[in-house]
Amino acid sequence: MVMGKDEIGQHTVQQYNEDLENLHRSVLGMGQLVLAQLDDGIAALASGDKERATRVVRRDVDVNTLEVHLDKECQRILVRRQPAAGDLRLIFAVIKTVTDLERIGDQVGHVARAVLESDLSSPNRPHAALAHLADMVRTNCASAMDSFARLDAAMALEVVQADAEVNREYQGSMRQLLTYIMEDPRITSSALQLAWTARALERIGDHAKNIAEYVIYMVHGEDVRHISEEERRQRLASEAPSARG
């Protein structure tokens, strides 16, 4: 059964409607906070701004606090409302999305700590190897949250497919960093630090993909995490719009 955004909050019990709508909005608010953290982490990486990186690390507690709050809210709704069908999928998807948002926050923290631990006097050239990767990951995270906001499975599918390109870019970044080391061994330390940072960015992309997959599950009731791209397309194409069951 296909679930659309307009179906959130279509219950005869008004408080239940408000609970679900508030839950949806709260996840989007957490997503905005995490995206802001990601923007600051990427900017700090590009500029070597340790003050900005410090703010990213300090604000991670805000992300963690939201995760705890939303987990409790989901538990409360599960106990009081005993949701079924589309509503149950929504709550399960929220629980998983919140977890992935928190993990994105953790990985952004790794990026910020790498900036704090880096030698600002070292050559800056290796940072360019991560610029495109960071942009791609940021775009996928924003699109994943946009698909969650709209309950747009088609947009979510695009994020899932785009993750393959993120993985290729990550591999390319690693090869480029290795080339820099071979050309100038003096930058080995900073390049290796960036290699760990590249890994953190790639993991952020994985979490964005996870969120997009939860959106597809929420809308279509299909778990597409471990199937081929072709099978995924076939399953979603076979879903005809219908009332939520």
Inside any domain, residue 114? yes
Q: Please, are residues 93 and 221 in contact by the beta-carbon 8 Å criterion?
A: no
The per-residue pLDDT for range 14-48, each reduced to its tens digit, is 788 888 999 999 999 999 999 999 999 999 998 88
Conformational region of residue 151, where left means phi above 0, alpha means psi within -120 to 50, and beta covers everything else = left
Residue bearing the bigger pLDDT, 194 or 236 = 194
What's 223's DSSP letter? -
| CATH code for position 128 | 1.20.58.220
Inside any domain, residue 162? yes
| Alpha-carbon dihedral 22, 24, 26, 29, rounded to 10 degrees | -140
Inside any domain, residue 111? yes
Domain range for 126: 5-237
Inside any domain, residue 96? yes
Q: Domain tally for the chain?
A: 1
The CA radius of gyration of the chain, in Å to the nearest whole number, is 20
Q: What is the model's pLDDT at position 188? A: 85
Inside any domain, residue 242? no
Residue 204's nearest CA partner among 115, 134, 113 is 134
How far does CA 196 lie from the centroid of its chain?
Answer: 18
> Percent of the chain having pLDDT more than 90?
61
pLDDT over threshold 60, residue 8: no
Q: How far apart are CA 33 and CA 59, in angstroms?
A: 9
| Alpha-carbon dihedral 209, 215, 220, 222, rounded to 10 degrees | 40
Angle between helices 153-183 and 229-237 (to 10 degrees): 160
Q: How far apart are CA 88 and CA 17, in angstroms?
A: 14
Q: Please, are residues 98 and 27 in contact by the beta-carbon 8 Å criterion?
A: yes
Look at 119-123, 163-167, 217-221, 232-236 and tell me which has the smallest mean pLDDT. Answer: 119-123
Inside any domain, residue 46? yes
The per-residue pLDDT for range 169-210, each reduced to its tens digit, is 999 999 988 988 898 888 888 888 889 999 999 999 999 999
- Whole-structure pTM value: 0.86
Inside any domain, residue 221? yes
pLDDT over threshold 70, residue 2: no
Inside any domain, residue 245? no
Angle between helices 128-150 and 188-220 (to 10 degrees): 20
